[in-house]
Amino acid sequence: MAHTLSSAGRRIAQRARSLNSSAIREILKFTERPHMISFAGGMPLSATFGLPALREASVRASHGAESFQYSTTEGYAPLREWIAREHSDSQHRVSPSSVLVTSGSQQAFDLIGKVLLDPHATVLVERPTYLGALQSLSLYEPEFVSVPMDEHGLVSKALESIGPERAALLYLQPNFQNPTGARLSFQRRRSIAEIARRTGLIIIEDDPYAALAFDGRQVPSIHSMAPDHVIYLGSFSKVLAPGLRVGYMIVPRVLEQKFVQVKQAADLHSSTLSQRIVYETVREGFLASHVLRIASLYREQCEAMLSALDRHMPPGVRWNVPEGGMFVWLALPEGIDSEALLKDALAVKVAFVPGAPFFARDSLHHYIRLSFATAAPEQIDLGIERLAALINAYSRVLTPYLATDLHR
């Protein structure tokens, strides 16, 4: 038996060897323990799912046998039309033919890897970036090159100096980035669109958090500025329910057929029933008011987290002030190892995600990602207080070493 296992293990293909299971999935196992205060998951609060609307839509969607039948690879036509309308305005019309429904937006990374990445192709990513994208794209064996970012998102000037013309792709998130919470400024979106048009760079604009803006302000997408150069990814996971696994890509016309072919090869099509449930839920305009409710709830939870951080964190800890989404990105004093901190935090029933896996290379170990989406405000305060006490203890141990360093 042992012999069979080890010889099968040796047959794992090169591309799968370095794949690890996502750090977040591993941590989520702990968060199910009783009384855990979890800032770890990237999942939405289940109370935001709008269950009555989903239930009614499910009944309507499951009337006919066709909801349980195979369906087209491109996706359910009325849903594709709805998505195309949502992304169209007077300046910029999206055709339903450029919309491909995917099994969560996560599937899009895999399809993009298949269509656009040869081994060793250069993929530009934000520093830090969404680890699920790194995990999925890494199966196509690219070389990741990180582009710096600040509180206004990816630094477009730095992109220029990295040499975008030699890259196969640039992957970025324009709104309330996972993990830093940053929103890319309008000016930078314009510069990045201009660079793409000038150099032929293809951009993956991954945008699952756009609707969760606390100020309700929508900054135009890069897709609307350079539709022939952008693959736009959208998702119903954060505004409706992630278990439905319905996301979508809007792709440049020249790539439409190729994406349909690889999607067909991958899974024939996404769940017929899920797509119809989504369509039945959104068709009469349910989302417009629903996302406002979610955003205002998350805003309250975010404010609770920011004020708890202000109250409890020792000097030397820095964080961003998000304008939407789900995440706060915390910089600890350098020298504190966030993985060691996590072990101690789990012991006092607080969970978060250490920052290292969000870096494509040269990981920094003194960052952590905190989600404010799933914990209630009073829990948030208690959890941050416990975390701050630990960081304080770590800082005290560190101080003599830091002081000696300064003397050298």
Number of residues that this document lists for the chain: 408
Q: Which is nearer to ligand PMP, 75 or 247 (CB)?
A: 247
- Minimum CB separation of residue 241 from ligand PMP in Å reads 10
Q: Which is nearer to ligand PMP, 138 or 235 (CB)?
A: 235
Neighbour tally for 77: CB within 10 Å: 15
Spatial distance between the Cα atoms of 385 and 313, rounded to a whole number of angstroms: 8
Q: Which is nearer to ligand PMP, 313 or 328 (CB)?
A: 328
Task: Determine, following the binding rule CB under 6 A, whether residue 237 of this chain makes contact with ligand PMP.
Answer: yes
Question: Which residue is at the shortest CB distance from ligand PMP?
Answer: 104
- Minimum CB separation of residue 50 from ligand PMP in Å reads 17
Query: Which residue, chain included where needed, has tokens 């039948």?
Result: 69
- Separation of CA 231 from chain center: 15
Segment lying near ligand PMP (by CB under 6 A), choices 219-227, 234-242, 259-267, 286-294 = 234-242
The strand pair at 153-154 and 143-150 is best described as antiparallel
Spatial distance between the Cα atoms of 333 and 317, rounded to a whole number of angstroms: 6
- Minimum CB separation of residue 261 from ligand PMP in Å reads 21
Task: Determine, following the binding rule CB under 6 A, whether residue 73 of this chain makes contact with ligand PMP.
Answer: no
Spatial distance between the Cα atoms of 5 and 300, rounded to a whole number of angstroms: 51
- Minimum CB separation of residue 332 from ligand PMP in Å reads 22
Neighbour tally for 248: CB within 10 Å: 27
Candidate residues 96, 113, 208, 357; the one interacting with ligand PMP per rule CB under 6 A:
208
- Minimum CB separation of residue 212 from ligand PMP in Å reads 11
- Minimum CB separation of residue 125 from ligand PMP in Å reads 12
Give the amino acid at 307: S
- Let me know if 257 is exposed, middle or buried by CB neighbors in 10 A (0-12, 13-18, 19+): exposed
Segment lying near ligand PMP (by CB under 6 A), choices 6-14, 235-243, 381-389, 390-398 = 235-243
Total of chain residues touching ligand PMP, rule CB under 6 A: 14
Angle at which helices 106-116 and 131-138 cross, to 10°: 40
Q: Which is nearer to ligand PMP, 125 or 390 (CB)?
A: 125
Sheet holding 367-371, edge to edge: 318-319, 327-331, 367-371, 353-354
Candidate residues 48, 98, 156, 235; the one interacting with ligand PMP per rule CB under 6 A:
235
**Which residues in the 10-49 window bind ligand PMP by CB under 6 A?**
42
CA distances from 299 to 147, 326, 373, 375, 398 (A): 29, 9, 9, 12, 34
Q: Which is nearer to ligand PMP, 130 or 394 (CB)?
A: 130
- Omega of the bond leading into 179 within 30 degrees of 0 (cis): yes
- Minimum CB separation of residue 90 from ligand PMP in Å reads 28
Q: Which is nearer to ligand PMP, 130 or 144 (CB)?
A: 130
Task: Determine, following the binding rule CB under 6 A, whether residue 357 of this chain makes contact with ligand PMP.
Answer: no
- Minimum CB separation of residue 213 from ligand PMP in Å reads 15
Residues contacting 337, CB < 8 A, separation 6+: 365, 366
Q: Which is nearer to ligand PMP, 156 or 178 (CB)?
A: 178
- Let me know if 8 is exposed, middle or buried by CB neighbors in 10 A (0-12, 13-18, 19+): exposed
Candidate residues 67, 173, 271, 274; the one interacting with ligand PMP per rule CB under 6 A:
173
**Which residues in the 178-197 window bind ligand PMP by CB under 6 A?**
178
Three-class secondary structure of residue 44 per DSSP: coil
Q: Which is nearer to ligand PMP, 173 or 271 (CB)?
A: 173
Reported as half-sphere exposure (CB side, CA atoms, 13 A), residue 136 has a value of: 17
**Which residues in the 76-135 window bind ligand PMP by CB under 6 A?**
104-106, 130, 132
Closest among 162, 169, 132, 167 to 148, alpha carbons compared: 162
- Minimum CB separation of residue 131 from ligand PMP in Å reads 9
- Minimum CB separation of residue 392 from ligand PMP in Å reads 30
Neighbour tally for 337: CB within 10 Å: 14
Task: Determine, following the binding rule CB under 6 A, whether residue 242 of this chain makes contact with ligand PMP.
Answer: yes
- Minimum CB separation of residue 204 from ligand PMP in Å reads 10
Give residues in contact with ligand PMP (CB under 6 A).
Answer: 42, 104-106, 130, 132, 173, 178, 206, 208, 235, 237, 242, 247
